[in-house]
Amino acid sequence: MSSEPDSPSSHESSDKSHSASQFCAPCCTMCARREESKSYCTTCHRYLCDRCDFAHKVMVCFTTHHIVSLDDVANVEELEKTVATTNLETMPIYDLDANVGGDMKTFLSDGKKNVEYLMKLSYQLKKSLEGLGRKHYDYIGYINDGHRQFEEHLRSQKDELIGLLEQQYMLQRRLVALYKEKIDFAVEDLIFKLSNVKLIFDDDGESASGLDFSQLLTNGYTNDFFQPLLVMAENHFGFEASASDISLSTWNFNVDDILVNGALAPSVDNNLAPYDPFNLPIVSEPRKLKCYVNPDLSLATSDPDSPPNIVTHVSSMQIHKTFGQKGNGSGQFNSPHGFCLGFDEDIVVADSSNHRVQIFDKTGRFKSQFGMAGRHDGYLWHPRKVALLRRQRRYVICDRGYERSRMQIFTEDGKFFKKIYIQYIDIVAGIAVTENEDIVVVDSVTPTVFIIGQNDFLRSIDCTDFMEEPSDIAVVGKEFYICDFKAHSIVVVDEEGNCLRKFGSKRTTMFPNGIDVSEAGDVLVGDSHGNFFHIAVYTKEGVFVAEFRCPYIKLRVSTRKDKAMNDTELIQFINCKILRDHKIIKEDLWVRNGTIVNPEKIFFDEKIQASKRIDCKGRIIAPGFIELQINGDLQNFSLLSYYLFVIEGGWGHDFSYNIDNLETGLDMVSQNLLCHGVTAYCPTIVTSPRDTYHAILPRMKKKQGGAHGATVLGVHVEGPFINVEKKGAHPPNCIRGLVKGIDTVKEVYGSLDNIKIITLAPELEDAEDVIQKLSSQGIVVSVGHSMADLSQGERAVNCGATLITHLFNAMLPFHHRDPGLVGLLTSNRVPRGKTVYFGIIADGVHTHPAALRIAYRVHPEGLVLVTDAISALGLAEGNHNLGQFQIEVRGGRAYIANTDTLCGSIASMIECVGSFLKSTGCSREYVLEAASLHPARALGIENVKGTLDFGADADFVMLSDDLELESTWIAGKRVYIK
C-alpha cells in the first residue's frame, strides 16, 4: 500500500506540541530558595515562586510590573525566548530570609513593623470604642434614672399638692355642710318638738287629763306655753314675735284637732349654745305632755328629770378620723362595702369595685392590701363582706366568683387558703364569727341564717316566720342579733332558731343596715333616714338608750330620676344558667329599664327586691347574636351576626336591589331575624351603581331594636372598591378603583353617616390612605374580595383595618411562600394589643370543616361567625334577586343563575352555630361568644352588646342544653318565643 507524504502544517503543529510538552518551569530566580516558579515577571524578567509572586502583587514597588502565570501555555514561547536571552548567573538574588538583597529585606521589615503598629492602633481604637460604648450605655442609664427620679419627684409633688387641694376642698365643703347642717338641725329640732303626737298622749293613747287648747288659752297660759318657742325661733331664725299675737281665734279647736302639731317644747334657754356638730347632743325619746303640766292645769315648776332609760356610759358621737378617697390606688376606695376590726386593732375594708381587701391602722394610715381581680378561686370579684378567724389568724371573705355567692379563706399575709362551698346562699347580707369560730351568714333573700364550720355546712335557721329582709348580723354568745331592713327592727334569735325578742321602731331604726355589739354590751344599729346616717343605741335586752346622728355623712337626696328608676320594674330571671366571663354559670339574671344590673348593688344601696320573677326552667341565657353581613332584599331581612359578615338578604329582600320599598323590607328582615336569635345586625349592600348608594344609604338609618325587630347597628357596604378578579357575585361593571382616594369613596357613597363597615381590597392604589381616614372616623374597615398578598394585608392592618370579610372566600388561597390575607391570623407584624377579626361562614357549604378547625385553632379570639345570608334565605328553591344578579337555589345552595358559582349563604345564624360546634368540637361557651361577643368586639361595642355583664343591654337568647333556640329577648322583653 502506498502512503502519502506528511504535510508541512502537521510538522509545525507537532513541533509546537513538542516544545510545549518539553517546557519545564525553572526554579525561582528572584530569591535564593530555588523553589519551583509559578509565574514570570516580564518587567524584571524573573521567575517567581509563590512568595515572590505574592510580594509582586502586594508591594508598592512592584505596582507597574507585569506578571504572567506559567500555566498560560500561550506565553510559553515568549517565556522561552526571554529565558534564553537572560543571564541567570548575573541576576541579583533577593533572599527574604538570608542576608542577601538587603534593600528588599529592609523594606519588608519596615512594612511588617508598620503593620504591627497599625494593628496595635486598631486594637487600641477598638478598646476605646468599647469603652465609649459602655460609657454611652452608662450615661443613658444615668439619664433614664435621673428622668425617672425627677418624674417620681414631680408625681409625688403632684400627689402632695392634689392631696392638699383635696384637703382644702374637703374642709371648705365640710364648712359649708356644717353651716347647712346647723340650719337643718335647728329646723328638724323645731319640727321634732312640734310634730310628735306622742307628747300629748298617755301610753294608752288617751289624751292627758282631758286638756284642750281653748281651755289652756282662756286660763291665761298662752305666754307660758308659747314664749319658749318664740324665743327659740328668734334665736334660730332672727325674727321677732310675741305671744300676744296669738289669740283664741287662732286656736279654736281642741286637742283632737291638732294631731298634726302634736308636740310642745320644754322651756328653752334664750342663750342657746353654739351648735357643735362634732359633739352632738343625745336625742332622747319624746317626753309626754304630763311632764310639763300638772293635773290641775298648772305648769310644772321645774324641768323633769331625764328619762330613766338614758345611761351615762354612752358618750356623744365624735368624728375622730376620716380617710380615703375615690380611686384605685393604695388607700383609695371604689364602693367599699364591708369592714371589720383586724388582728392588731387594724381596720380591714372590703374594697368591692377594686376587687381587693385593704388594711389600715386605727389612725387610718394604709398598711397593706391583698387580692387580684378575677372569678377563679384565690382571686376576688366584688368582695362585700369580711370577717376574722382570730385564733387561726385568717380572713373570711364573701364575694361572687362564678357562683351566686362564694366564701374564701385567706391567711394573715393575704395568701389563698381554701374555698368554702356556699352555693345554697343567694345574697350574703351579713357575716359574723362565733366564739367557736363557726361562721354565721344571713341570707337576705330567703331569709335564713346559715352556720358553717371550718370544713362544711353545719345547720340553718329559717327565719321566714318572724323576719322579712335581713341586712346584717352580729353574734353575742349564743344569740344572733339581726337587722330586719323591711320590718324596721332588730330581731334576736338563739342557736335553736327561736325568736327571743324584737326591738326598734320606725323613728329610730327606719332602715337598719348594720349592727354590732360593743364590749360594754351596747347594741349599735346603723340606720339611714331623714337624709342622714344615724346610730341607735340599745341595751342587749332591747331598751332604747340614745340616738346619734353623723353631721356630714349625709345621704343622697332622692331625685326625680331616682324615683323613676325605683318605679321601673325590676325583673329577676331565676333557675337559669348564664354565659358570663367565658363560662356558663348557674346564676340569676337581673334586668331593669332594659339594662342588666348588679343585684348586690341594688340590695345594699336601694334595699329593694325584684318586682317580677321569671322561671327559666334550667335554660341557658346567652347574649343575643350579632350579624355583621346579611344581604337582604328590602322587603325581608335575614339574620345578621353582629360580627363581621354582611347578610345580603333574606326572605326575598335584597337591600341593593329593591329600593322602592326599602324601609318596609328592612323592618321585615329585622322582624324575621328574631326567630334566629339575632338581636342586632348590619344590613349589607353588595356592589351597586353610584345612584343606588345615593338612594339607599340615607334611608338605612340606625334603629333601636324591640318587638318590631332586631337593632340596626349601621350599614355594611361590601364594594364597589374590590378586586375584579375576586368579584364573586358582584357585578364587574360596577366595581371601581380609588382614583381620588377618600374623595372617590365619598362621591360614590354620597354620605358616610349610616355606614358601620366597609369592605375593600387593600391592594388598590391609595387604599392605605383611605383605610386610615375611614378608621379615624369610626368606620370599621374590612379587607376582602382581594388578591392582596400578606405584606399588603399587614400594611392595611397597620393603617387601621381590623376585619377580614368571609375568610377563605374571595381571596388568594393559602400558599406556603405567601399565605395572603389568611396569613394575618398568625402575622407577627400586627401591632401589639390589636386583634385581627375575621368572619367565617360555617354553613357547611362555603367552608370545609377542616378549614373551620384550622381557623379556630390558629386564631380563636378573632373568629366571628357570619352567615353572609342572601335574599334567598328562607325561600324555596328557584330564582331570586341578589343585587344586579339573578340567583338560583339548588339543593340547599345558592348559585349565580345557570352557573356553579356560589353567591352567598342561605343558612341562619342558629344553624351556623350548630354547624360550627359540630365541625370543630369547640365548647358551647366559645361558639356562643363567636356569634355575640366577638362581633361586638369587632365593632367596638362590647361594653353594651354581646355580653351579659352589668350595665350591658339586656339583649339575650334562651337556649336548651343542645343550643336550640327557645326565645329571643331585647331590652329585657321577650320578642320571640319558639
Q: Grid coordinates 502512503 are at which residue?
A: 3
The beta strand positions in 593-697, using DSSP E, are 595-596, 612-615, 620-623, 630-631, 646-647, 680-681, 684-685
Question: Which triple of cell numbers denotes residue 494?
Answer: 338563739
Pick the catalytic residue from 868, 955, 961, 962.
868
**Please, which residues bridge with residue 865 across strands?**
840
Q: Distance between CA 969 and CA 710 in Å, rounded?
A: 10
**How many residues are given for the chain?**
978
CA nearest neighbour of 942 among 423, 582, 674, 520: 582
Residue 462 is a catalytic residue: no
Q: Distance between CA 653 and CA 666 in Å, rounded?
A: 8
Contact 911, 923 (CB under 8 A): no
Q: Side chain identity at 813, as an amino acid letter? A: P
Q: Grid coordinates 289652756 are at which residue?
A: 216
CA nearest neighbour of 674 among 302, 287, 388, 955: 955
Q: Distance between CA 704 and CA 715 in Å, rounded?
A: 14
Q: Running DSSP on this structure, what letter comes out for residue 726?
A: G
CA nearest neighbour of 288 among 306, 263, 305: 263
3-state secondary structure of 188: helix
Question: Which triple of cell numbers denotes residue 797?
Answer: 392592618
Contact 237, 323 (CB under 8 A): no
| Kind plus residue range of the DSSP H or E element containing 916 | helix 909-920
Q: Distance between CA 142 and CA 603 in Å, rounded?
A: 55
Query: CA of 731: how far to CAs of 378, 498, 708, 747, 897, in Å?
Result: 58, 82, 33, 19, 13
Residue-by-residue DSSP string for 474-501:
EEETTEEEEEETTTTEEEEEETTS-EEE
Q: Grid coordinates 361572687 are at which residue?
A: 400
Contact 759, 702 (CB under 8 A): no
Contact 822, 784 (CB under 8 A): no
Strands 620-623 and 956-959: antiparallel
Q: Distance between CA 646 and CA 683 in Å, rounded?
A: 6
Q: Distance between CA 545 and CA 534 in Å, rounded?
A: 13
Q: Running DSSP on this structure, what letter comes out for residue 633?
A: B
Q: Distance between CA 682 and CA 358 in Å, rounded?
A: 46
3-state secondary structure of 684: strand
Q: Distance between CA 896 and CA 886 in Å, rounded?
A: 6
3-state secondary structure of 313: coil
Residue-by-residue DSSP string for 772-824:
HHHHHTTPEEEE-S----HHHHHHHHHHT--EESSTTSSSPPP-SS--GGGGG
Q: Distance between CA 870 and CA 158 in Å, rounded?
A: 59
Q: Grid coordinates 331590652 are at which residue?
A: 971
Q: Distance between CA 728 and CA 629 in Å, rounded?
A: 15
Contact 297, 215 (CB under 8 A): yes
How many beta carbons lie within 10 A of that of residue 941, not counting itself?
Answer: 19
How many beta carbons lie within 10 A of that of residue 150, not counting itself?
Answer: 10
Catalytic residue annotation: 868
